[in-house]
Structure 1
Amino acid sequence: MPVDCVHIIDDDEAIRDSLSFLLESAGFDTRTYDSAEQFLESAAGLSGGCIVSDVRMPGMNGLEMTRQLKAMQVNLPIVMITGHGDVPLAVEAMKAGVTDFLEKPFNDEALLNAIKVALSETAPGAGAVLAEPFRELLAQLSPRETEVLRGVVEGKANKVIAFELGISPRTVEVYRANVMTKTGAASLSELIRMALLAGFA
């Protein structure tokens, strides 16, 4: 199977067809699966390409699939697609090894970029080289910004973080925007990945 094969896992046939068309138009080979269970049946031995999967599906969800793949020693990078309410689950999946996650709705270019990054994953251990610069960036945050980031990394919603810190959800949004600016993170998933790599969790 080609190393640039993208395995699309979603219980919605229309979404599978749409993603497959988009990716094949961009030059990727694709295979589609209607469930995590179906993908796992043929996952053993796969060593090239990447996975694009919905996080919430009937039966096994994306997080459970990620853990199962790890147990099977299938190390394909995973891009998880999530609804707004599924962000905590997506954060947990990132901690379990998912490469990236995209919140719906996302544009085509965002997905293509995420897949290209996933397919060009650096060798194991390279992350350690990046950890120190990330730690330095996070060290520049104020105590309150650090508290907000910790809540984000734990997958908490803004209103939950606000309640726990005794501030308004709007103020949490301001602090979160400040954290994005100071760290240079272009997306929530990039911010979380940066924090995890730096050992923030």
Structure 2
Amino acid sequence: MPDEQIVYVVDDDQGMRDSTLWLFESVGLKAVPFSSGQAFLEACDPKANACVLLDIRMPGMGGLHVQEEMQRREIHLPVIFVSGHADVPIVVRAFKAGAIDFIEKPYNEQLLLDSVQQALNRQPVMMAGQHQSALQERLASLTPREQDVFLPLVKGYTNREIAEQLGISVKTVDLYRSRVMKRLAADHLPALVGMAIAAGMVDPLDLRAT
């Protein structure tokens, strides 16, 4: 079946691989598991109608290195990263290198399925399913204070650091952060970072080092 859709699942956690395979198979998607990035690179079909669900943190070759090696080998399959540790510089680096989505573990099953389906259909998802104009409209709806919190947040500053910068309490930053997430319809930090990148608001040279 040349048009069969495939999801390559690359994760060193066998329990995560098994549950993810079960999820995809339950909706009729073929899933092919790999326990390491090297095994995936040697066995994947670059011409397949496929996407790659790639764990960021793995022993040996981590997800970002797998992504870099895919580019060197001209394997142009859409990549969706998953990670239990989604710090901002990693998220930005992944998006800048061409990832189309970044989902935190433990992930929402419907969110993952939607992202995979859009990847298989070659539809961009890094703006959380929104068109550029809709994204710009939502960003423009932020109040000045929400904007003050949003920008350092996506650059990797902690709530405490933002509070010190703005001369407000950490509790107030928490409040504004939740309002920003709600206004932008983002359910996790990687989604906010993806929006900032898509809108050209994040400069990789201006990110916090970790």
Instruction: Give the TM bin, normalised by the shorter chain.
Output: 0.7 to 0.9
List alignment gaps of at least 5 residues for structure 2.
125-129, 203-210
2:14 equivalent in structure 1: 13
User: Counterparts in 2 of 1:66-105, with a 5 A limit?
Assistant: 66-83=67-84, 85-88=85-88, 89-105=90-106
Return the letter of the residue paired with 2:17: R
Q: How far apart are 1:166 and its partner, in Å?
A: 4.2
1:127-156: CA deviations, max 9, x gaps? Answer: xx9334423332332333223222232244
Whole-Å separation in 1 of the counterparts to 2:148 and 2:72: 33
Q: How far apart are 1:28 and its partner, in Å?
A: 0.5
Whole-Å separation in 1 of the counterparts to 2:157 and 2:111: 24
1:155-175: CA deviations, max 9, x gaps? Answer: 444344444444433322222
Higher helix share: 1
Q: Summarize the Cα distance change of 1:152–1:41 in structure 2 as closer, same or farther, 3 Å threshold.
A: farther
2:92–2:197 CA contact under 8 A, matched in 1:
no
1:56-110: CA deviations, max 9, x gaps? Answer: 1112222222232233332222221111x33322343123222222222223222
Q: Summarize the Cα distance change of 1:156–1:187 in structure 2 as closer, same or farther, 3 Å threshold.
A: same
Q: Summarize the Cα distance change of 1:86–1:130 in structure 2 as closer, same or farther, 3 Å threshold.
A: closer
Residue aligned with 1:49, SS: strand
Whole-Å separation in 2 of the counterparts to 1:157 and 1:75: 35
1:44–1:72 CA contact under 8 A, matched in 2:
no
Whole-Å separation in 2 of the counterparts to 1:59 and 1:139: 43
Return the letter of the residue paired with 1:56: R
1:82–1:90 CA contact under 8 A, matched in 2:
no
Whole-Å separation in 2 of the counterparts to 1:82 and 1:17: 16
Return the letter of the residue paired with 1:111: L
Q: How far apart are 1:6 and its partner, in Å?
A: 0.4
Return the letter of the residue paired with 2:95: M
Whole-Å separation in 1 of the counterparts to 2:36 and 2:165: 37
TM-score (structure 2 length as normaliser) = 0.78
Identity of aligned residues (%): 37
1:126 equivalent in structure 2: none
Note if 1:57 corresponds to 2:54: no
List alignment gaps of at least 5 residues for structure 1.
124-128
User: Counterparts in 2 of 1:109-128, with a 5 A limit?
Assistant: 109-122=110-123
Q: How far apart are 1:23 and its partner, in Å?
A: 0.9
